Structure 1
Amino acid sequence: MLERYELEAFLTLAEELHFGRTAERLRLSTARVSQTIAKLERRIGVPLFHRTSRRVELSPVGRQLYEETRPAWDRISEAFARAVDAGRGLTGSLRVAFDGPAAGQLLVGVTQAFRARHPDCDVQIREARLPEVLPWLRGGEVDIALTCHPMREDGIVMGPVLVREARMLAVPTGHPFAHRATVSLEDLARVPVLQLPETLPDSLRDDRAPRRTPAGRPIALGPSAMTFTEMLTLVGAGEGVAAVGAHARRYFARPDVTYVPFVDAPPVEWGLVWLAEGATARVRAFGKAALDVAQGPAPAPSP
């Protein structure tokens, strides 16, 4: 029979594929994690991971064990969290992160609605850059985050889409595209596109193959940027273009950058994300408040 600490070590290592990060998440030493996995492998009789000096990867048996135990562990964790919340009620604190000023404005309204319903639960709001959202969730720094969808990661739950906005192309003000009423996805083959994968349409975000337009034309990648402001600075400097949400035109107006609407790109979607194992009553109640705020008041009945 598996002990709880053994299963936690195995599942976490299967997600991280790194002993150091696994130890950090579990607040254990790396040696303790290694010993636990080795003990588990001796009991099963086959390796669960293949280890080299450069990487750790699941063995076929390890992958099968992960796929069969992860859903059950999530259900157990959620049931336990619900039991704890039922005993405590909606009290304590909820730590919420947001990515960008538009998300922050929406989050203020959601927080006000949540506090009105659950005055005994304190909400703590933190701003995160997009690359920080997932590490903060996995590291327990925040309980839930309002960010751009999709976030396709093991163990991450995406709530309903709260807001959809048009997708636009940020171009240097002196670029020929800046004088056009619209652009298309095919136009991306004519200019370098800055490397912020989360801002590109899904059809252009396959990292397993060169990015191409819907018609199959290759897209040249421009420089990388670590922050949204840095990306727009590079755009203004003529280093490339970037696909962004329409909110950028309001919150990031710049004399050196022009925003041109796409005619054929899917919208940018925003919503809440949280850890599957962290789906507490507080998280679920906050998600409900967010959906209610996004949908607005119900229409009055006809006389």
Structure 2
Amino acid sequence: MEWHEIETFLTLAEELHFGRTAERLGRSTARVSQIVQVLERRVGVPLFERTSRRVTLTPTGQRLYEDLRPAAEGVTAALARAVADGRGVTGTLRVGFVGAATGQLVARAAERFRRRHADCAVRLREVQVGGAAERLRTEEIDLLFGCLPIDGPDLTTGPPVLSEPRMLAVPAGHRFARRASVAVADLARERLVVAPCSIPAGPRPAGEPGPVAETFQEVLTLIGAGQGVFVAGAHAAAFHARPDVAYVPIHDAPPLLWGPVWRTVRATARVRAFVETARSLP
């Protein structure tokens, strides 16, 4: 298969519309139709079902799409890296971060990065963890620093740059509030606030689900109102101290790891340089 055939097939499989495919590729609708017909003759079976109202993939077309997509993304990523390396570390890098701890870290990294790469601007942006990966996929940001793991078949995770103990945020009057520490097993009797930034305490069962929050500030408000408890990183005690919330160490929970994540196809020289800068921080 020629690259233009692969490109046309994959685009039509995603758009399911000849006109939009032609517009996206900068070709005529007739040319898109011609390329698809040639490809179908080569394969020997239809790849698309066409009616006057809609275009859909046949089972063979769906399988071909699933087989070709990863390979095509690999080729695109390789070309992007080659182009980026040829241009060097220039342009603008958009770095997203989740939480105060990573915000402080990326701010320090950005300052050092600018000294090393004066021709590349850095824009920092706080994002909510619930939609952080989508910000990468929609290319609102180029690089994300968040609580690991942030998984996805199209994402690459770099080495952790920050590690911290897990703590249990409880109401100030809670029976755990004056303890030196708690165990993961203690959470089995507690109502846990549920949020996009929820962090598992460890391998043992946790408590029953409690109220739902959308942001960390909502989490703290619910805790302060006595409606549940929440597992957080140790940085929360420093950055989010409140008179109605107490933070208690969880002595047998594994540490939280924070690090960089980016789209595999967007592993540019800028991204790699910033990740290396963040890793080099003391």
Give the TM-score normalised by the residue count of structure 1: 0.75
How far, CA to CA, are the matches of 1:3 and 1:179 in structure 2?
63
Contact in 2 for aligned 1:103/1:146 (Cα 8 Å)? yes
Tell me the CA shift for residue 132 of structure 1: 2.8
How far, CA to CA, are the matches of 1:201 and 1:76 in structure 2?
37
Contact in 1 for aligned 2:185/2:206 (Cα 8 Å)? no
Contact in 2 for aligned 1:201/1:265 (Cα 8 Å)? no
The answer to whether residue 281 in structure 2 is matched with residue 290 in structure 1 is no
Contact in 2 for aligned 1:201/1:266 (Cα 8 Å)? no
How far, CA to CA, are the matches of 1:155 and 1:59 in structure 2?
23
Q: What is the correspondence of 1:238-257 to structure 2 with a 5 Å cutoff?
A: 238-257=226-245
How far, CA to CA, are the matches of 1:161 and 1:196 in structure 2?
23
Contact in 2 for aligned 1:170/1:257 (Cα 8 Å)? yes
Q: Partner amino acid for 1:288?
A: E
* 1:107-156 deviation digits (Å, cap 9, x = unpaired): 11111121111110111111111123112111011100111110111201
Per the alignment, residue 186 of structure 2 pairs with 187
Per the alignment, residue 163 of structure 2 pairs with 164
Change (3 A) 1:245 1:218: closer
Contact in 1 for aligned 2:155/2:262 (Cα 8 Å)? yes
The answer to whether residue 107 in structure 2 is matched with residue 113 in structure 1 is no
Q: What is the correspondence of 1:21-100 to structure 2 with a 5 Å cutoff?
A: 43=40, 45=45, 62=62, 66=66, 68-100=67-99
- Segments of 5+ residues of structure 1 without an aligned counterpart are 14-18, 49-55, 204-212, 297-303
How far, CA to CA, are the matches of 1:89 and 1:194 in structure 2?
46
- The percentage of aligned residue pairs carrying the same residue is 42
Greater gyration radius: 2
How far, CA to CA, are the matches of 1:9 and 1:234 in structure 2?
47
How far, CA to CA, are the matches of 1:288 and 1:157 in structure 2?
15
How far, CA to CA, are the matches of 1:126 and 1:218 in structure 2?
32
* 1:221-280 deviation digits (Å, cap 9, x = unpaired): 001110001001101111110000000000000011000000111111100111011111
Contact in 1 for aligned 2:184/2:206 (Cα 8 Å)? no
Contact in 1 for aligned 2:162/2:259 (Cα 8 Å)? yes
Per the alignment, residue 4 of structure 1 pairs with 7
Contact in 1 for aligned 2:196/2:215 (Cα 8 Å)? no
Change (3 A) 1:190 1:27: farther
Change (3 A) 1:128 1:64: same
Tell me the CA shift for residue 74 of structure 1: 3.2
Q: Partner amino acid for 1:233?
A: T
Change (3 A) 1:8 1:241: farther
**Root mean square deviation of aligned Cα:** 3.2
How far, CA to CA, are the matches of 1:287 and 1:202 in structure 2?
28
Q: What is the correspondence of 1:180-259 to structure 2 with a 5 Å cutoff?
A: 180-196=179-195, 198-201=197-200, 203=202, 214=204, 219-259=207-247
Q: Partner amino acid for 2:147?
A: C
Kindly tell me the number of residue pairs found equivalent between the two proteins: 257
The answer to whether residue 164 in structure 2 is matched with residue 176 in structure 1 is no
Tell me the CA shift for residue 64 of structure 1: 7.7
Tell me the CA shift for residue 196 of structure 1: 2.4
How far, CA to CA, are the matches of 1:156 and 1:77 in structure 2?
14
Tell me the CA shift for residue 284 of structure 1: 0.8
Change (3 A) 1:256 1:285: same
Q: Partner amino acid for 1:292?
A: S
Give the TM-score normalised by the residue count of structure 2: 0.80
How far, CA to CA, are the matches of 2:47 and 2:206 in structure 1?
42
The answer to whether residue 143 in structure 2 is matched with residue 144 in structure 1 is yes
How far, CA to CA, are the matches of 2:59 and 2:173 in structure 1?
54
SS in 1 for 2:79: helix
